[in-house]
Amino acid sequence: MIESLEKVLVQHPFVEGLKPEHISLIVGCAKNVVFEPGKYLFKEGEDANSFYIIRSGKVALEVYSPEKGSIIIQTLDEGDIIGWSWMVPPYQWKFDARAVELTRVIELDGNCLRSKCEDDQSLGYEIMKRLANVFDNRISAMRMQLLDLFGKS
């Protein structure tokens, strides 16, 4: 079981190129999870105990408003990761994440990952670099979204 998880994990762009010893470290925190369409991965305000690596499917990041219901901010799919609130205090989700389609993820336990990153800071730095790349892409995309490029100029 662990071995096959490792195989799946190394194929994911987020993990790609990570040293084998680091991979075996994080595999210890991992499990396979499937979300049916409509199921929430997590909801705003809940404790953020997980880091999700999407293998397939589609997840919507949403925020709920009483008048408008749930508003989708962004959708994420195969190859993306979800959630870094497990890494930053107070370790609480700031948004909802809902599976739009049948979604297969590898869920890494946040506490487990955090402590392994603390113990082996070279792993911690690797994870941080990869997350920084994700932040960079998400922020760029978000800035473009803010520009409302296709709106009336």
Residue 2 near another protein by CB under 8 A: no
CB closer to another protein, 34 vs 139: 139
CA distances from 91 to 3, 23, 24, 85 (A): 30, 24, 25, 5
By CB under 8 A, name the one of 2, 34, 63, 72 that touches another protein.
72
By CB under 8 A, name the one of 10, 31, 40, 75 that touches another protein.
75
Pull the structure tokens for residue 41.
């991965």
CA distances from 77 to 26, 55, 102, 153 (A): 21, 8, 11, 31
User: Least separation, in Å, of the C-beta of 15 and another protein?
Assistant: 15
Q: How many residues bind another protein (CB under 8 A)?
A: 25
By CB under 8 A, name the one of 8, 100, 131, 134 that touches another protein.
100
* Length reported for the chain: 153
User: Least separation, in Å, of the C-beta of 74 and another protein?
Assistant: 5
Residue 134 near another protein by CB under 8 A: no
Interacting residues toward another protein by CB under 8 A = 58, 60, 68-69, 71-75, 77-79, 100, 137, 140-141, 144-145, 147-153
